[in-house]
Each structure stands twice: as structure tokens, then as C-alpha cells.
Amino acid sequence: MGLGATLAILLAALTVAVLANWRERRPRPPGNPPLVSTTAIQMIAVVVAILMLAHLVSLFMGAPLKSRFLR
């Protein structure tokens, strides 16, 4: 995956996380639960953003990141 795709996915994940945070903070009428958990959507978007940041580091360094656990 190239730099452009990585940046696009990173930007999309951050946008989804911000929109989910905004939807979570909006006031809701009592007794009207949301159909989709925006907290779960926000956490998934944050994990994707962290993975894309790690991929960006590996792209800029020129070598893949090495795990401490897999040898």
C-alpha cells in the first residue's frame, strides 16, 4: 500500500472517529437508545488510525516495523 492510500485511510478513520464522537455527545430524548453503538465505531476507527500511523512510520523509515514477540 502506498503513501497516498495510507494517508487516505488515515484521514477517513480520523473523520469517522470525530463524527462518532460528535454523535455520542449529542443529547438524546430519554427512552430512545441508539441503534448502532457509536462508541464501538469510534474505537474501531481509532484502532485503524493507529495502524495507519504505524504503517506511515514504516513507509518513511524504509523498513517494516519489527515485532518484539515474533522472532
Delimit the domains of the chain by residue range.
3-26+35-61
What pLDDT does 12 receive?
97
Distance CA 17, CA 22 (A): 9
The letter for the amino acid at 67 is: S
Per-residue pLDDT of the chain in tens (71 residues, 90 and over written 9): 888 999 999 999 999 999 999 999 998 888 888 888 999 999 999 999 999 999 999 888 887 777 777 76
pTM across the whole model: 0.81
Contact between 44 and 12 (Cβ < 8 Å) = no
What pLDDT does 5 receive?
94
What pLDDT does 71 receive?
62
